[in-house]
Amino acid sequence: MDKDIVTLAHGSGGEMGHALVRSIVDIFDDPILDELEDAALVPFDEQEGHCAGRIVFTTDSYVVRPLFFPGGDIGKLAVCGTINDLAMRGAVPLYLSAGFILEEGLPLADLKRIVASMGEVAHEAGVRIVTGDTKVVERGSADKMFLNTAGVGVVPPGVQISASSARPGDAILLSGAVGDHGLAIMTQREGLRFESSLRSDCAPLHTLVQAMLEASPHIHTLRDPTRGGLATTLNELAGQSGVGIRIEETSIPIHEPVRAASELLGLDPLYVANEGKLVAIVEAKDAQDVLRAMRAHPQGREAAIIGEVVDEHAGRVAMCTILGTHRLLDMLASEQLPRIC
């Protein structure tokens, strides 16, 4: 039985620890990782097919309950999330690290399934996991597994994408329907027996970004609306760029099961997390070209122009409702809690 779960011995640095690391490394199957050096020595030159440019570097930690959910798992989330953070600067993601904090008692089969999922999504995305770390903590000190990934990518010359670059007159595009990830997790976590149609949208977005950049060099801002949802992201961008944002409620795509589950739980899908969507702020004259490029990509089929950047109400987001009235779309004050009535 002990063989099938993570134990403190796996974290001791002894034989069992080495075997655990070996089994993870074998799944990732990357020659650089395979060297098991303290730090990965990675090629970075045009001979390797990497374009010249500036390096971007990011890190993110992932905690999610349950570890497996419809549409993904913590491993896929950790790889996609870091790829997406790199992609939101217009970068081509190249190398990732993976740091595992494992709770004593975690089934090894779960760990391997998660590692396999990471390997698979990294391989499909053309990104290499080249270094990593594992630690084991006592039961009760972590929630089954915490996962950190850091990533390195390169921004091609001429690409200047930043959260502070939105300008009045720019168009605001959204790559698809919002709320899927957060509601898939929530309904899974709470054992609410909804239809299985709620699935996380967890996906890497770098090839979508590359397709958009081919359509227009005038993409000013990109951000993936993860925690806090679309509303929070738009508020962040309005604040960081010092501009106002105006959006149309009717133009925001929301899948019907998400809408129905949100109504039932008293949640607003505009504040629910996404893991495979992006907001793009683009020069108005290029908006249609970028939209076309997005819709031609599998991750952007439901893309829509949802609003514009304005020079009024700097730092705030206004929404035109379906009744034609206007109201503030505020930042999320604290986590959304399902209502009683």
Do 170 and 280 contact (CB within 8 A), yes or no? no
Give least dist CB 325 to other proteins, A: 3
113 touches other proteins (CB under 8 A): no
| Beta carbons within 8 Å of 49's beta carbon, 6+ residues apart | none
Q: Site mask, other proteins, residues 254-283, x = CB under 8 A?
A: --xx-xx--x--xx----------------
242 touches other proteins (CB under 8 A): no
Sign of CA dihedral 84, 87, 91, 93: positive
Between 39 and 340, CB nearer to other proteins: 340
Between 161 and 317, CB nearer to other proteins: 317
By CB under 8 A, the count of residues binding other proteins is: 34
Write out the binding residues for other proteins, residues 130-149 only, by CB under 8 A.
Answer: none
Between 66 and 217, CB nearer to other proteins: 66
Write out the binding residues for other proteins, residues 61-80 only, by CB under 8 A.
Answer: none
DSSP 279-315: EEEE-GGGHHHHHHHHHTSGGGTT-EEEEEEESSSTT
Do 148 and 99 contact (CB within 8 A), yes or no? yes
Please choose, out of 12-20, 70-78, 153-161, 326-334, the segment that lies near other proteins by the rule CB under 8 A. 326-334
- For residue 198, give the 3-state DSSP assignment: coil
CA dist., res. 138 & res. 104, Å (int): 5
Write out the binding residues for other proteins, residues 191-230 only, by CB under 8 A.
Answer: 191-192, 195
323 touches other proteins (CB under 8 A): yes
31 touches other proteins (CB under 8 A): no
| Beta carbons within 8 Å of 276's beta carbon, 6+ residues apart | 80, 84, 176, 180, 181, 200, 201, 202, 203, 204, 205, 299
Candidate residues 31, 49, 158, 340; the one interacting with other proteins per rule CB under 8 A: 340
User: ω before 31 within 30° of 0 (cis)?
Assistant: no
DSSP 3-34: GGB--GGGGSSSHHHHHHHHHHHHHH--HHHH
Give least dist CB 249 to other proteins, A: 9
325 touches other proteins (CB under 8 A): yes
Give least dist CB 230 to other proteins, A: 15
CA dist., res. 292 & res. 288, Å (int): 6
Q: Site mask, other proteins, residues 143-182, x = CB under 8 A?
A: ----------------------------------------
49 touches other proteins (CB under 8 A): no
Site residues, other proteins (CB under 8 A): 190-192, 195, 244, 250, 256-257, 259-260, 263, 266-267, 313, 316-318, 321-328, 330, 333-334, 336-341
